[in-house]
Chain A
Amino acid sequence: RKEVEQDPGPFNVPEGATVAFNCTYSNSASQSFFWYRQDCRKEPKLLMSVYSSGNEDGRFTAQLNRASQYISLLIRDSKLSDSATYLCVVNGGSRGSTLGRLYFGRGTQLTVWP
């Protein structure tokens, strides 16, 4: 079983739409959760960390369900510039956590069209 699994997509949505991505992780000891964004042929960049209580950053809302080992990202009022691949990322928990080992999902591709 993969450490992190995501909706493969692609998601194609019009500007202004709301879109949600889901992710599950296998290691119940994981403590840190992130969403990264990767533009075509570029490096991944941190979009936001995900906290237990859920958190919001402008049009982006991330939620964590530890019991179900499930993470989500909601994008409201989609912009053309939101087109990218979104990577769900989870740390290794007690296994090698002092080394900051992160596990990356394969990513979900989003295309926002005008």
Chain B
Amino acid sequence: SQTIHQWPATLVQPVGSPLSLECTVEGTSNPNLYWYRQAAGRGLQLLFYSVGIGQISSEVPQNLSASRPQDRQFILSSKKLLLSDSGFYLCAWRKLGSGSTTDTQYFGPGTRLTVL
């Protein structure tokens, strides 16, 4: 079965510090991978998605970046955090294929980031 991991679970960082969040998927190959942010009381905002190694698409211009160095690894980074970067960061995967059921995305446990 497939599992998705994220770490760390919780992070408190000062403004201006760097960020690196990691997401890994097990039990599947060549998944589509996604980074979302959920701010307090807000909906899910898609930040980045990736269809393969080294392929990243950005949805929202911001001071965050993403990388996919391996098939099942997805990293979210920032060189300098802002207060507005606080939120719940969720990684999700989707298996490739056709048909409506393959649109289902499965989420990792998330990283709760507080920028002070």
Contact = CB atoms under 8 A, between A and B. Distances in A.
A104 B43 contact: yes
B46 A32 contact: no
A113 B108 CA distance: 29
Given A42-B109, A43-B110, A106 B43 contact: yes
Contacts of B104: 32, 34, 46, 49
B30 to A, nearest CB: 13
Interface string B15-28: 00000000000000
Nearest to A31: B100
A43 B90 contact: yes
Interface of B: 32, 42-44, 46, 49, 51, 57, 88, 90, 94, 100-110, 112
Given A44-B107, A102-B103, A104-B44, 4 more contacts: A42-B109, A46-B104, A100-B94, A106-B42
5 contacts: A43-B107, A43-B108, A46-B104, A49-B101, A105-B43
